[in-house]
Amino acid sequence: MLNNSQKILKEARRQHYAVGQFNVFNLETARAVIKAAEKLKAPVIIGVSPKTIEYAGLNQITSIIKTEASGTKNPVVLHLDHSFDFGLIKKAVSAGFTSVMFDGSKVNLAENLKITQKTVNLCRPKNISVEAEIGVIGGKLTEPEEAAIFAQKTKANSLAISIGNVHGGQFAAEKLDLKLLQNIAQSVKIPLVLHGASSTPRHEIKRAIKFGIVKINIDTDLRTAFRKGILKYAAQEKDPRIILDNTAHEIQGVVEEKIKLFGSQNHA
């Protein structure tokens, strides 16, 4: 069943575990994520990027996820990931998304603040969660005082921060700055989000959760599993349905591993 992310992230923060956001791009990836979450009784956030919307179509990918989510009692959040475009946010809201993110990392702080507030004003009356971002993933680190003021002024429900994490499965030259994370967690009163976690070692993930991260985004790991699965099973099978189904099982295994790492199993 579809939910927004507010309650599940608050509960994760209270009990010191993290909820996984897994980005999907077709039926097989969506089904794999929901099956993994259902098997482990975990809340889950399904992320849809602007590139996936461009590839699959907004209504089409939304319908797939809504249909798959309707068959489970587990909390499933349908989340628009990394939108730089307020117009796309409005379309996602109309399509039935239960959570959205405005990514203001490409604009100055004042513009980020303005559009994030605009997003909150659109979404709050509709009970839709809003994730904001401050700092640049793989670039400018988040400043605790600036993050606290930003969260207070925008009234976003969660905040993605930059503490040395990088997108695209690239391994950062430095480890996560966990001291910075601690300082941000002490200053910011809303749930904190870690993006680019496919490249982050397991022990760093566990420490990040310990020090305040409550939502973790996974994208590259799923795309890698999909590509490897297709290559593996296409060499063994002729029926594309079998190839895709077996590949979905591989993806489900990756999601289950991440859910266990994040500690969110049995928290649905």
Tens digits of residue pLDDT in 148-206: 999 999 999 999 999 987 654 444 444 899 999 999 999 999 999 999 898 789 999 99
Q: What's the CA gap between 255 and 253, in Å, rounded?
A: 5
Which pLDDT belongs to residue 37? 98
Residue 137 has pLDDT above 70, yes or no: no
Q: Which residue's structure tokens are 């967690």?
A: 185
CB 214 within 8 A of CB 13: yes
Establish if 182 belongs to a structural domain: yes
pTM: 0.95
pLDDT at res. 166: 66
As for how many domains the chain has, the answer is 1
Half-sphere exposure of 234 (CA within 13 A, CB side): 6
The CATH number of the domain holding residue 79 is: 3.20.20.70
pLDDT in tens, 230-245: 999 999 999 999 999 9
Residues assigned a catalytic role:
81
Average pLDDT over residues 241-262: 98
- What is the largest distance, in Å, between two alpha-carbon atoms of the chain? 57
In a domain, 58, yes or no: yes
Cα separation, 69 vs 35, whole angstroms: 10
- Is the residue at 16 inside a domain? yes
Contact 119, 130 (CB under 8 A): yes
What is the rounded distance in angstroms from the CA atom of residue 121 to the CA atom of residue 154? 9
Cα(101)–Cα(91) distance, integer angstroms: 13
How confident is the prediction for the chain on average, in pLDDT? 95
Range of the domain at 208: 2-262
- Residue 267 falls inside a structural domain: no
Domain assignment present for 249: yes
Query: Does 251 map to a domain?
Result: yes
In a domain, 268, yes or no: no
| Contact (CB, 8 A) for 101 and 129 | no
Please check whether residue 176 lies inside any domain of the structure: yes
Please answer whether residues 158 and 188 qualify as being in contact, where contact means their C-beta atoms are separated by less than 8 angstroms: no
